[in-house]
């Protein structure tokens, strides 16, 4: 989690305002534009604003513009579209209103005057300084990474061609001395290749885990300052909202494959319980003791110590999934038997697990939609604050926020993503109790992917078809629940709440992505999974390492310029690349941190 959230909160939409008749000319930073109002009327005007991303938010005062050819400037955010209106201070009438997305670094003018034709006040917009291309650094980075990837792909090919040419030259120079024994010489080599054991490790799963982790590291390092690499303010999806459910999905798939391997090695249920208990305790303690705060926060205070957390949720999710697999997952169809439910054996064979997960999801739905919350409407899923016409300012998260507040008090995440846009005052933890239920459901979908791989082993077409079927089913469910809108669905897609539509949406993307990687890496072997394979095989080390060392050189440094995304994007890519390099070096040394 970023520690600069309070500073960003102060600079979200309203940063600087000029005095009456004054002129403000600040050096505009990232995600900022300068808006100057020229008032040619004889009355004072009030300018109000709201963000179009903020659902039914109350208009907030932006600035007052004094009459008689006075002008006032203000710095506004360029992250989302803004709705603005100009009201008269005397009668309160709205003179004009508009919605616009301002460009980063641009300077704009709004001239308020009386139209000669209609004899009514009007607002005329002009662009004084064109905005800069904020996405140019991202484009340059994408092209650079694509070129780097092309070099890594082409280098082995050129090397093989060179070696082949040298070998053929050497053979032709040595003459026919091998001509009589060609068959005998090639036979042992062919036997060795045939006898070489084929790795049973699913490289696509490690690659998927590493891809999610690499993206998570980049997001945690700021994502170049781009809003779509950070978490959504409330409803909706951004790139930052994708990574954790993908990681949970992979945990579920790994549980099935790992426990099946241990079962075949004769590991007893008692040993399994001891192993999963130990791993859960270690994950929870790592999250609670080491990743709870940053050195920038100063001495640890029990008044704001955070009880929930990412590793705490991952540990508890892993524990429940492992229990499901330990007690109700060690089943196989007897050899030679062909039951009528063989086409859906990956579901029917594990019906006790499905029953438990359905009960858990029913509990989530009942608590979320039916539990009464004091001073809040039943089933409220909004952010509170100034949202929903400002009717429920202290109802952030509805039942989820109320339960966490009752359990943890103020020992929760202090900077929820909705705080900046919705101006909320209540703490809200995205890793709270109710969300953990749906985290288990997300992991169980990953377990379903593992069961498909186990049940249809060697039948790649059936595995891919099952993946596609699950993706379509979950995608349709997400579309129905959300009505294909951001805020208007029955249950909106919301990462903070880990809503049911969010789980089904991310389950759909997980099946599609894992299926694509499985086909490319494990079936066709067109790609070895590099470089994501390396952090995927040392995920705990990379995650804990980047969380603890994220504020230290060479992973980060004080920015020399805050005026564009160039340096921040370079810093994020540099730090992420360093952790990929560290994981590669550990891979070469065969060092894998296991719990």
* Contact criterion met (CB below 8 Å) for 88 and 101: no
* Contact criterion met (CB below 8 Å) for 419 and 352: no
| Beta-carbon contacts of residue 515 (< 8 Å; ≥ 6 apart) | 463, 464, 467, 468, 471
Burial class (CB in 10 A: 0-12, 13-18, 19+), 362: exposed
User: Is the peptide bond between 235 and the residue preceding it cis, with omega within 30 degrees of 0?
Assistant: no
Phi-psi region of 104 (alpha: psi -120 to 50; beta: other; left: phi over 0): beta
Burial class (CB in 10 A: 0-12, 13-18, 19+), 431: buried
The structure tokens listed for 299 are 């001495």
Angstrom distance (rounded) from CA 339 to CA 360: 29
Angstrom distance (rounded) from CA 235 to CA 115: 41
Angstrom distance (rounded) from CA 108 to CA 76: 11
From 38, 231, 546, 565, active-site residue:
231
Confirm whether 38 is a catalytic residue: no
Location of structure tokens 């005026």: 563
Per-residue three-class SS string for 127-189: EEECCCCCCHHHHHHHHHHHHHHHHHHHHHHHHHHHHHHHHHHHHHHHHHHHHHHHHHHHHHH
Phi-psi region of 409 (alpha: psi -120 to 50; beta: other; left: phi over 0): left
Phi, psi of 467 (to 5 degrees): -60, -45
Q: How many CB atoms lie within 10 A of CB 227?
A: 18
Q: 125 forms bridges with which residues in the sheet?
A: 110
* Contact criterion met (CB below 8 Å) for 174 and 497: no
| Beta-carbon contacts of residue 261 (< 8 Å; ≥ 6 apart) | none
Q: Within 13 Å and on the Cβ side, how many CA atoms surround 42? A: 0
SS3 category, 72: strand
| Beta-carbon contacts of residue 464 (< 8 Å; ≥ 6 apart) | 515, 518, 519, 523
Angstrom distance (rounded) from CA 71 to CA 38: 4
* Contact criterion met (CB below 8 Å) for 426 and 405: yes
Angstrom distance (rounded) from CA 377 to CA 594: 46
72-81 burial code (b ≥16 CB/10 A, e <16)? bbbbbbbbbe
* Contact criterion met (CB below 8 Å) for 87 and 105: no
Residue among 410, 409, 428 at smallest CA distance from 418: 428
| Beta-carbon contacts of residue 511 (< 8 Å; ≥ 6 apart) | 445, 449, 467, 468, 470, 471, 474
Q: Which residues are catalytic?
A: 231
């Amino acid at each position: 989690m970023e520690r600069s959230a309070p500073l960003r909160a102060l600079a979200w939409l309203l940063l600087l305002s000029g005095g009456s008749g004054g002129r403000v000319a600040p050096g505009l930073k990232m995600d900022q534009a300068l808006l100057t109002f020229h008032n040619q009327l004889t009355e004072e005007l009030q300018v109000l604003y709201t963000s179009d991303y903020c659902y039914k938010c109350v208009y907030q005062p932006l600035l007052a513009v004094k009459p008689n050819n006075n002008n006032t400037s203000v710095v506004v955010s360029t992250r989302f579209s803004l709705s603005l209106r100009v009201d008269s201070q005397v009668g309160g009438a709205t003179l004009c209103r508009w919605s616009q997305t301002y460009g980063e670094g641009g300077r704009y003018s709004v001239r308020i005057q009386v139209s000669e034709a209609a004899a009514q006040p009007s607002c005329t917009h002009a662009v004084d300084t064109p905005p800069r291309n904020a996405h140019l650094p991202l484009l340059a980075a994408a092209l650079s990474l694509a070129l780097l990837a092309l070099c890594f792909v082409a280098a082995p090919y050129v090397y093989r061609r060179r070696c082949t040419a040298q070998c053929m030259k050497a053979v032709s120079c040595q003459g026919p001395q091998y001509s009589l024994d060609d068959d005998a010489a090639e036979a042992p080599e062919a036997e060795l290749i045939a006898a070489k054991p084929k790795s049973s490790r699913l490289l696509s799963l490690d690659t998927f885990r590493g891809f999610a982790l690499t993206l998570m590291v980049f997001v945690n390092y700021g994502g170049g300052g781009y809003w779509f690499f950070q978490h959504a303010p409330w409803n909706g999806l951004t790139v930052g909202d994708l990574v954790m459910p993908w990681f949970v999905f992979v945990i579920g798939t790994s549980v099935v494959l790992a426990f099946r391997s241990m079962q075949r090695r004769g590991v007893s249920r008692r040993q399994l319980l001891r192993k999963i208990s130990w791993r859960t305790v270690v994950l929870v303690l790592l999250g609670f003791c080491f990743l709870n705060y940053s050195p920038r926060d100063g001495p640890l205070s029990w008044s704001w110590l955070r009880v929930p957390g990412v590793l705490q949720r991952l540990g508890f999710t892993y524990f429940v999934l492992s229990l499901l697999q330990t007690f109700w997952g060690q089943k196989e169809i007897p050899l030679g038997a062909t039951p009528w439910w063989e086409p859906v054996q990956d579901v029917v064979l594990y019906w006790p697990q499905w029953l438990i997960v359905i009960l858990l999801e029913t509990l989530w739905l009942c608590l979320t939609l039916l539990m009464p919350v004091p001073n809040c409407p039943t089933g409220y899923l909004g952010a509170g604050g100034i949202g929903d016409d400002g009717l429920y300012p202290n109802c952030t998260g509805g039942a989820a926020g109320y339960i966490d507040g009752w359990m943890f008090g103020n020992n929760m995440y202090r900077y929820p993503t909705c705080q900046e846009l919705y101006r909320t005052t209540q703490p809200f933890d995205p890793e709270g109790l109710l969300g953990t239920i749906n985290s288990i459901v997300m992991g169980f979908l990953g377990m379903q992917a593992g069961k498909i791989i186990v049940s249809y082993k060697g039948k790649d077409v059936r595995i891919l078809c099952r993946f596609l079927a699950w993706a379509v089913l979950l995608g349709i469910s997400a579309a129905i629940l959300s009505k294909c809108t951001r805020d208007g669905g029955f249950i909106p897609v919301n990462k903070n709440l880990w809503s049911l539509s969010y789980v089904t949406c991310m389950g759909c993307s997980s099946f599609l992505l894992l299926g694509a990687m499985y086909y490319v890496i494990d079936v066709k072997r067109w790609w070895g999974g590099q470089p994501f394979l390396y952090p995927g095989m040392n995920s705990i080390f990379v995650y804990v390492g980047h969380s603890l060392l994220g504020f230290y050189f060479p992973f980060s440094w004080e920015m020399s310029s805050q005026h564009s995304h160039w340096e921040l994007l370079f810093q994020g890519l540099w730090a992420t690349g360093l952790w990929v390099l560290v994981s590669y070096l550990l891979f070469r040394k065969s060092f894998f941190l296991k719990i």
